[in-house]
A = this chain, B = another copy of it.
Amino acid sequence: MDVNGTTWVVLGLLALRPMSGYEMKQVVDRSTRFFWAASYGQLYPELGRLESLGLVAGESAPTGARPRRVFTLTEKGRDSLHGWLRASGTRMETRDESLLRLFFADALPHDEAVQLLRARADHHRASLMQLETTAAAAEGDPPFVSLTLRYGLDYCRWEIEWCEAQERRLREGT
């Protein structure tokens, strides 16, 4: 059937409620973006593909004269989604420039190297604030949607504490 990551984003979002491609992008940017991003260049072609496979059904729902297509999950689409949710593949990839810097930080004078921990903590402090704003407007989310939001909050807090603890350790340890 030929799937990719975007497939599951599309099917998963439509399991929550019918929506347009434009709306999907907005939802992704406020939620899964932190662990799974998606762009228009992926979303729109994938919607067309999944429609031709019969996993989603598109219906015209214009706003006045402005064209607009709203998609629904078909039974077949729901089956695929459930199949993936029950599957066990656990692909996990990260590109973390700040950790890469830390890894090579021995090339820097010790003081400057330790500073990198502070920069990393700051970055996660900013993410935390952003997530807290999101959380404030997230009443009534389904339980597992709010569980991943909680994950984001807990993870940021852990990162901040870890960086602070290591900074202390390195300053004392000298």
**Which A residues contact B (CB, under 8 angstroms)?**
5, 8-9, 12, 15-16, 31-32, 34-37, 78, 81-82, 84-86, 88-108, 112-113, 116, 119-120, 123, 142-145, 147-148, 150-151, 154-155, 158, 162, 166, 170
Known: A36-B97, A92-B95. 4 other contacts (CB 8 A): A12-B100, A84-B101, A91-B95, A94-B96
Complex: chain B residue closest to A13, CB-CB: B104
How many angstroms from the CA of A79 to the CA of B34 in the assembled complex?
33
Majority SS of interface residues in chain A?
helix
A162: chain B residues at CB < 8 Å are: 151, 154-155
A90-B86 in contact (CB<8A): no
A8: chain B residues at CB < 8 Å are: 100, 104
CB distance from A161 to the nearest CB of B (A): 10
B154-A107 in contact (CB<8A): no
Return the contact of A85 from the options B5, B85, B107 (Cβ within 8 A).
B107
A155: chain B residues at CB < 8 Å are: 162
The 7 closest A-B pairs by CB, nearest first: A12-B104, A105-B144, A106-B142, A35-B96, A35-B99, A15-B107, A91-B97
Residue pairs across A and B with Cβ atoms less than 8 A apart, 8 shown, are A5-B95, A35-B94, A36-B95, A36-B96, A94-B95, A106-B142, A150-B166, A155-B162
